Amino acid sequence: MVGIPRRSRKDRPVDGTMSLMEHLYELRRRLFFAALGLLAGTVLGFVWYTVSIPALGLRSLNDILIAPYCNVPAQYRLVTGGREGCQLLATTPFSFLQVRIKAALMVGAVISSPVWLYQLWGFVTPALYSRERKFAVSFVVAGGALFFAGAALAYYVIGEGLKVLLSFAGDAGTSALSPDSYFSFLIAMLIIFGLSFEVPLLLVMLNFAGVLKGARLAASRRYAIFGMVVLAAVVVPGNDPVTMSALAIALAILYEVAVQVSKAHDRRKERRLVAAGMAELSDDEASPMPVEPGPVGHTDAVGGSSPVPPPAPIPPVEPPDRLGDAT
């Protein structure tokens, strides 16, 4: 079977256009390097799980992830030997192996994010204009920063949330968390907070696209804050008041930031329209023609006509001699 020829990168058009098969080849190449980066980050996270470098102040990944649980007072959890009485209780032989793999995958995705984000950006960039690329870079950077900020906030409030959740037992019992339940709760909280912090960025993106106005967002502030409180109550596992309050307050602050950014963008857009003389036009009204119309009855001179030569005569076609053909 003859393979479909592919053009080299230097032979492709300047505008980045490619055929369907070239797009598929490019997607395969980008996915390969993204998966390779994720694999390398996962291996590094798997090794880091039990390795610490005290000279550099680097704790092991296990110590970092278990720290919120260790911050819970000893009266609310089972005190075991080693590590000052702070350990998880495994109930199956594969509990810690599964937890280590999950933690390595999570850390690998974070560590390798520059690699797979670069591959994603390299695949999408040829389809964007220069102005769209500028906005896309800004939104990708802001989205990554907001996700990490949300995950960091979740990490610091998980300890307080566990204090509330584990204190409900009182003197009736002691909590002994298994690795599966604890790390599932931890990873879910990190992802929920990180994704929730993307909601205000989505509103700003809609404003930049012309779908939402800053004034509309400001007028809907009360309903939006109520919706964020409901969202925090629904998505937070355990529904403890500390974690829900932290998420709702953070989202309310970010929503106000989105409102101010959107209003500032609208004012800047209005100033550009005023400078161009199109501020009074509605969204469905056409802008005026840049050419000044002439007086009524005025016509521009059109070049003189030139005669068109008549078509050449068609010579008559004589009918064939049927009698001669028959003979």
pLDDT tens readout for residues 46-97: 998 888 888 777 888 888 888 888 887 777 777 766 555 677 777 778 878 8
* Average pLDDT score over residue span 201-219: 87
Q: How many Å apart are CA 90 and CA 180, to the nearest integer?
A: 8
Contact 243, 158 (CB under 8 A): yes
- Beta bridge partners, 53, equal 58
Length of the chain counted residue by residue? 327
| φ and ψ of 175, to 5 deg | -85, 135
Check residue 303 and give its pLDDT.
60
* Average pLDDT score over residue span 236-243: 77
Q: pLDDT tens for residues 159-190? A: 887 887 777 766 666 677 788 888 888 888 88
pTM higher than 0.75: no
Q: pLDDT tens for residues 286-323? A: 555 555 555 655 555 556 667 777 777 777 766 666 55
Amino acid at 137: V
Mean pLDDT of the chain: 78
- Asked if residue 276 has pLDDT above 80, the reply is no
Amino acid at 92: T
Q: Which residue has the higher pLDDT, 246 or 84?
A: 246
Tokens found for residue 302: 């059109």
Cβ-Cβ contacts under 8 Å for 81 (sequence gap 6 or more): 87
Tokens found for residue 34: 């993204």
82 to 86, 87, 90: CA distances (angstroms): 7, 8, 15
Cβ neighbours around 258 below 10 Å, total: 23
